[in-house]
Amino acid sequence: MDIKTQYEQKLTTAEEAVKVIQSGCWVDYSWATGAPDLLDKALAKRLPELTDVNVRGGIVLEAPAIFSIEEPARHFTWNSWHMGGIERKAIAQGFSYYAPIRYSELPRYYRDSTTPPDVVLMQVAPMDKHGYFNFGPNPSHTKACCDVAGKVIVEINENMPVCLGGYDNAIHISQVDMIVEGQNAPLRELGGGAPATDIDVAVAKYIVNEIPDGACLQLGIGGMPNAVGSLIAQSDLKDLGVHTEMYVDAFVDIANAGKITGQKKNIDKGRQVFGFAAGTQKLYDYLDNNPECMAAPVEYTNDIRQISALDNFMSINNAVDIDLFGQVNAESAGTKHISGAGGQLDFVLGAYLSKGGKSFICMSSTFTTKDGTVKSRITPTLSPGSIVTDTRANTHYFVTEYGIINLKGLSTWQRAEAIISVAHPDFRDELIAEAEKLKIWRKSNKR
Which secondary-structure segment (H or E) carries 317?
strand 313-318
The answer to whether 294 and 165 are in contact (CB under 8 A) is yes
Q: What's the sign of the alpha-carbon dihedral 273, 279, 282, 284?
A: positive
Which residues are CB-contacts of 400 (< 8 A; sequence separation ≥ 6)? 203, 362, 363, 364, 365, 377, 378, 422, 423, 424
Burial 79-100 (b: 16+ CB within 10 A, else e): bbbbbbebbbebbeeebbebee
Which secondary-structure segment (H or E) carries 172?
strand 170-172
**Rounded to an integer, what is the distance from CA 46 to the centroid of its chain?**
31
**Rounded to an integer, what is the distance from CA 225 to the centroid of its chain?**
13
Active site residues: 245
Which residues are CB-contacts of 153 (< 8 A; sequence separation ≥ 6)? 17, 20, 39, 119, 120, 121, 122, 176, 177, 178, 179, 180
For residues 226 and 230, give the distance between their C-alpha atoms in angstroms, rounded to a whole number.
Answer: 6
Give, in order, the Cα–Cα distances in Å from 117 to each of 17, 28, 57, 106, 304.
Answer: 15, 6, 11, 14, 28
For residues 37 and 87, give the distance between their C-alpha atoms in angstroms, rounded to a whole number.
Answer: 17
Strands (E), 8-92: 11-12, 26-28, 53-57, 76-80
Which residues are CB-contacts of 25 (< 8 A; sequence separation ≥ 6)? 50, 53, 54, 118, 119
**Rounded to an integer, what is the distance from CA 243 to the centroid of its chain?**
13
For residues 310 and 70, give the distance between their C-alpha atoms in angstroms, rounded to a whole number.
Answer: 50
**Phi, psi dihedral angles at 378 (to 5 degrees):** -95, 120
Q: List strands edge to edge, sheet with 53-57.
A: 11-12, 178-181, 151-156, 119-124, 26-28, 53-57, 76-80, 96-98
Give, in order, the Cα–Cα distances in Å from 229 to each of 16, 95, 243.
Answer: 45, 37, 14
